[in-house]
């Protein structure tokens, strides 16, 4: 399947799932992240504030924000800027309805220990299919040579045998579903 068709297929699969199914699966996935050796050792974690159709992350972020430096992406033009999460009250919704932290950009990407990345689909080789705007592609290319360990996070039906990948794509080091 081409990327456009694959995105539509995944959107259709997401549409038939209940909120309860997603919450249960999200809780299990967050337990796996919490126990992951890379997370346990990490001091600075790049995460994402989930959309309704993504693995739910809001409670997890709040839980860990006092113990680890949690970073979240912010849409600025055609790129994702990274900012530190400090409290729900310091969040604004962007044009896509995603809550983003306010405050100064975080630019010391060499000190990010772990990045948890969403996607429409992943494959076992770590290839990622995004929503099609390229935001995460540009962010991941900035992280390419920093040593940041990248985990793709998705529901089980989003892990596919193969996802279309191009030379500029940055694969995940691991996919948890």
Alpha-carbon distances of 96 from 20, 75, 138, 174, rounded to whole Å: 23, 9, 18, 27
Alpha-carbon distances of 8 from 120, 138, 139, rounded to whole Å: 10, 22, 24
Structure tokens belonging to residue 97: 């309805």
pLDDT digits (tens, 9 = 90+) for 63-80: 999 999 999 999 999 999
Tokens 């297929």, located at residue: 9
Neighbours of 118 (CB within 10 A): 23
pTM: 0.94
3-state secondary structure of 6: helix
Distance between CA atoms of 8 and 20, rounded to whole angstroms? Answer: 22
Structure tokens belonging to residue 91: 């969040």
Among 145, 154, 61, 161, smallest CA distance to 170 is for: 145
**How much is the mean pLDDT over the chain?**
94
- C-alpha gyration radius of the chain: 15
pLDDT digits (tens, 9 = 90+) for 74-126: 999 999 999 999 866 689 988 877 889 998 899 999 999 999 999 999 999 99
């Amino acid at each position: 399947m081409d990327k456009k068709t694959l995105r539509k297929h995944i959107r259709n699969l997401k549409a038939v799932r209940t909120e309860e199914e997603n919450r249960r699966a999200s809780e299990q996935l967050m337990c796996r992240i919490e126990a992951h050796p890379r997370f346990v050792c990490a001091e600075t974690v790049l995460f994402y504030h989930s959309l309704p159709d993504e693995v739910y992350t809001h409670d997890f972020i709040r839980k860990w924000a006092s113990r680890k430096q949690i970073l979240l992406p912010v849409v600025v033009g055609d790129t994702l800027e990274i900012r530190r999460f400090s409290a729900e009250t310091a969040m604004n919704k962007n044009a896509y309805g995603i809550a983003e932290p306010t405050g100064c950009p975080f630019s010391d990407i060499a000190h990010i220990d772990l990045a948890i990345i969403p996607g429409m689909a992943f494959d076992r080789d770590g290839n990622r299919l995004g929503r099609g705007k390229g935001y995460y592609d540009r962010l991941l290319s900035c992280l390419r040579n920093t040593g940041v360990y990248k985990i793709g996070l998705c529901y089980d039906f989003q892990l596919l045998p193969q996802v279309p990948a191009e030379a500029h794509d940055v694969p995940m080091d691991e996919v948890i579903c």
